[in-house]
Structure 1
């Protein structure tokens, strides 16, 4: 299989899956259910949607600020504007090719701030580990709120969040093993990879060398609090979900967090997964689906706006580079 076809499949299959799920969801609904869904979306309180949008923007700004704490131990200084635009451009890139954003983010900082790609990418890997730990903490809290019901739902959908954690640990272990093999080998192609591996390790170790560890931890907590609040306030915009308990909202947040990576930007999968868990806990179908779609649309709007502007302004504001 040639590279062009592989690239097309990587982009096309998740996108087609998302479109199919949208078509299936709408096609399996009755005309009255579709009418109720559309009515719930139209009648949503836009003030709370704008609050959600603002909270989402704050989380991304905090992520960009947090990044400097990992770059400074390696001796690299960078502007907040470039880090923020790199983050937002990366999120937007994920809508085209899932998981391509991390690479683009490191490339952007390498281009405009002279941070070597392998070191920048290493810091991104480390911060993803920190984010995963926070997500696992939220999963644990959600389980405390809705242990029996949430586990029952996950089992009915053949979903086990711990698999994601163990798979990630396995990938980290394989990566470390591969790096050790490359480091000890005298084979010429592996020798050329040693510089890349060394830079990656230096970037990943930067999280242990930070002078402002508490600032990094506080920003990490703040980022995820904003994610959760961004999701939570959407419930206030829809009458059918306004009285939904916090435990149910956290359960829906957890499911959405795992579903978002299934397709390009979570299209199709995210709204249906969130709606599914809300309906499981007793929320009316049209209200649950409206919540899922409004939540996804708000998050997507943040990325489309700031990601699009980032692609425009990155070269304009750094024209000398």
Structure 2
């Protein structure tokens, strides 16, 4: 019960932050600029949502193919369709409750494929680690293409988030490290003394699955393809963002450099709040503002791009949720007839 309340409290806090950023963003638009904001949305080229839809759908498919590669060292070969369905259901669930999607996509795939869910947890951890590295590369590319803009905006954000002195930050960091060390030692002692308890055995099983997923990267037979898929996912993200910038008049002239900056900070926005609500459009607007785009125009474009991503996840996620049992019922029926 306490765990559920804590999860709900965390979700409420981040959702509240997202709604606050929506309200704050609207407050940033001067009264005499509201017409430009609404005009930017009303005159947007909504036909460009089609290529954005295709590009982002392809990125989700590539993510499913990459996930399959992570399962191969463990001896599992799930079908591409099932893997894709699971990925999209995970994204759909994340719109409601952050991180719930990671659990659900493992659960759904385990239901229709012979893959233990606890072992899939490790592949999710491995995927997230690669995504963090990939996002870091996007930031570095942005530094190369827009070093002055990124530095100025980054300093502004850091200044707002960390207003305390350097000594306090170092003290907090050392305290945090000390707590982690004590917690690690306590867990080791607890696991050793109470290894007979069912909950300890379950936790050990999950940890073993996570570890197997992590070391599976080292044992990949298709390392080159895994790296190619990882690069392609973020290349498609960048392409989708660039096409999205073309949708509104005030941002159509911007190039790939601005798209990389928008992708970098927009990705942070997707992490900060559930589904990126408020934060995604706000961060993109601030980055585009550094590129000479008025905030109201940038916020309109960021809102449009956020809506496009939201719509894609809702549509493909809902379709995947419906097709998952139907596809597997037909597949199992076909295999049954073949065996007879």
User: TM-score scaled to structure 2, two decimals?
Assistant: 0.83
Cα offset for 1:21? 2.1
Q: Do the aligned partners of residues 196 and 182 (structure 1) sit closer, same or farther apart at CA in structure 2, a change above 3 Å counting?
A: farther
Distance 2:222 2:19 in 1: 44
User: TM-score scaled to structure 1, two decimals?
Assistant: 0.88
Residue 39 of structure 1: aligned partner: 39
Q: Is the 8 A contact 1:11 1:96 kept in 2?
A: no
Residues 162-200 of structure 1: CA deviation (Å, up to 9, x unaligned): x9xx9xxx8xx98xx689938972422434432222222
- Runs of 4+ aligned structure 1 residues displaced above 6 Å come to none
- Match 1:277 to one of 278, 284, 287: 287
Distance 1:254 1:220 in 2: 16
> Which secondary structure does the structure 2 equivalent of 1:261 belong to?
helix
Distance 1:151 1:38 in 2: 30
Q: Is the 8 A contact 2:142 2:261 kept in 1?
A: yes
Cα offset for 1:246? 2.9
Distance 1:202 1:80 in 2: 22
Cα offset for 1:280? 2.1
Residue 201 of structure 1: aligned partner: 211
Distance 1:82 1:136 in 2: 30
Q: Is the 8 A contact 1:87 1:105 kept in 2?
A: yes
Distance 2:67 2:39 in 1: 42
Q: Do the aligned partners of residues 156 and 27 (structure 1) sit closer, same or farther apart at CA in structure 2, a change above 3 Å counting?
A: closer
Distance 1:53 1:32 in 2: 34
Distance 1:313 1:233 in 2: 30
The RMSD of aligned alpha carbons is 2.7
- Match 2:220 to one of 184, 189, 210: 210
1:187 aligns with 2:187: no
Distance 2:70 2:185 in 1: 24
Residue 113 of structure 2: aligned partner: 113
Distance 1:247 1:102 in 2: 31
Residues 130-186 of structure 1: CA deviation (Å, up to 9, x unaligned): 2221211111111112223311211112279xx9xx9xxx8xx98xx6899389724
Gaps of 5+ in 2: 162-168, 334-340
Residue 293 of structure 1: aligned partner: 303
Aligned length: 311
Within-5 A mapping of 1:1-20 = 2-20=2-20
1:219 aligns with 2:229: yes
Residue 23 of structure 2: aligned partner: 23
- Match 1:315 to one of 315, 325, 328: 325
Distance 1:115 1:130 in 2: 22
Q: Do the aligned partners of residues 185 and 191 (structure 1) sit closer, same or farther apart at CA in structure 2, a change above 3 Å counting?
A: farther
Cα offset for 1:4? 4.0
Gaps of 5+ in 1: none
Distance 1:158 1:46 in 2: 35
Distance 1:125 1:193 in 2: 16
- Match 2:256 to one of 246, 249, 262: 246
Residue 337 of structure 2: aligned partner: none
Distance 1:289 1:307 in 2: 26
Residue 166 of structure 2: aligned partner: none
